[in-house]
Structure 1
């Protein structure tokens, strides 16, 4: 059994008839410039057109087998570069025509214009040239090579916006200057040529003659302007003043001329004008020279004036000038505002402020400067004094400065529920924060007084404090413990994990006004104390819940009633219970009084008529373990109708 690879004997075996053909290991074949080879199998013909053998066949005689390989064409990398930058990249097989890209372009620079020549293996064109007619025979790097043509530039010379000369030069050649231009004088300047500049405003460089050209260039003729001088002339009757000044300089002023008054007019100098009749241009301060100019003095004729002034309370009501013999024009009579004491009515115009001079009606016409004064008649003002007591309103009218009137008798107010009312006096404010009526007062304005009363409660206070405590049985039901004189319940919604130990004892009795309770609290206990303050059937509940588990912060709140009658929480202070200690709490509520809302200073004034009273209690709690005392003020708003 002979096995051949690429024309050479690869392996040879001797086998007996009927055996399975023994196939050797797969041979390999080196790649050439065109292909890479991969073993495909053993075939009875070299071109692979015969029978294939893979070792499953039976030996039936002498046999020659040939290694057949699959051919994979090799692809070569062709890269095209433009100025060291990859322009295009392709892969092609051996022998293919070179697939060259479209010819690249290269932008001209300041010196050269570039045209594409071809692709070369060297960037300077010193290598081998390639085009589409060449065949691929391996990896290839090609560079675009360009032909360079030196550039030409135009140099233009401008004078006053017009091209006066133009030349074309190659890059690096020297430029030539034309003949120096001229510029006509204008109203402001005469001009002389300085040179050619790279900028229109002359802020650039002045290149020398024959400077090398390196691009399109525009040069501008620059001129030096010299201010022109003009004559300025002032004429007044037979007097002439002449001077010479530069263009743009401020025209020098001369002294204002005068013209004597005649029998009819006085004359005031108006100004200098470029026309004798004053219809031209007026001279003004800061006016500048812009050419030859002549000024004429202009005067304003005026009748001899007389000043007529009308004054009221030191202020000018009217001021006018009239000529001699004219009828005096008087203004409308002024109004004088009343003051707190008097009201005023206009009487007439007089030459004396006191009214002892001449009246306007007695002076027929203007005979000179005149001043008239407004004269007024005064009368005492009257004011309304109003007294309000509930729905009763009494009004009185009195003159300014008279003694303050008052009703003949003090008002009264009926007893309401358990309150009686005692008249305190009249006050200018409904909340009694104003001024109180005094018989020494005098009338000085409209004023309203309100009757104010003191409210006194006649009821007794009882059952001030109720302590509610409780426990839970094994089934989770709340069980009340009874104490004589107390209502013992556990507050709804409170769950107690351990049985609380609360010792409630009646320490001492201060009558119906207060009761003291001692509550001893054990460690690791959740408990609640509810206090109900009762006044004639109306209850104010006060709840202090003290959950105990480790260190506990107990909030203590104070309250007050605002101006709208709302109960407002004034904030909280904290009492700290420490772990591992037992505390005893003494709670003593004290009925204070009926009072109105607290002032800014915290004081409580006695209740008065129309005030909305509230009950004020002071509850002091002493924590023996930390020896600290806190005062808590609980307030309950009460209406007049349910007040007891």
Structure 2
């Protein structure tokens, strides 16, 4: 018939028809589940904070499942389950659990929140747009796609959550996980720096230091020419040795290059003038001539001076005949002078003149 306690001495006794007579008995709740209260408990199952109070009910009673009071960063509450791994019986908030005959623990179920990662070219002027990606909290890392943006004069250096690069930085192709909100990643750019070097292009002396030019920075003045070339005057720079490319003046300002640059010195052969002095002549004249360096020999003009009582014998760079002599017949070829001792003026942009002076022999006397 059941287990009861004697009200007089508290002794427990299985009551049967034989011993029921003559005693006062009550049920023993410690040994009779029908008199015990059952507990419905709630487990946070990994939450960061919050709580949910447990509930009690008498044997065989019913309870309504409580609302969630737990909080877990990056996750959304998705109901309750009788197992922590979610493989048991599911219960939604507000469900009724009936005929409860034992203690029950319900475990919070969590679903990772999906966050979106978008990409911004941040000043790009080319390339292709990039599709956003989804990162689910707690579902493992996702690889960022390779950058497809381009920007003239700049090199891509990675991603950042701020346009100015002062946020969280990510490398191209980095792993990203457990975002707590959707983010936009902005392309980061470093201005390219290119080197301008200088080629003497036939020079026979001197040198010129290279310069560095950074895109979108202040213009840089080209190094002044330091090359020299005998018989030539420097006229500027060109991107091709033959002068068929882009021209730059000496010390010109350069900016926004898109590649390294070699500039070739450009040269113009010097041209000098040879003039003739009659050196005491009393008649005639002799036309001057021009001689260009490296352009081949030029024949001296035939003497056109006359002097009464004298015969012309040739030319000399000094009036007294002690300089460099040039023959009279045949006409002497003369190459472009390169120094004062060989009919040359100084090697400057403005050619100088050299003077050939007629030589005066001793006068002829009549015999007596």
Normalising by the smaller structure, the TM-score range is 0.3 to 0.5
Under a length normalisation based on structure 2, what TM-score does the superposition of the two structures give?
Answer: 0.39
Larger CA Rg, structure 1 vs 2:
1
Larger relative contact order (Cα-Cα within 8 Å, sequence gap ≥ 6): 2
Structure with higher strand content: 1
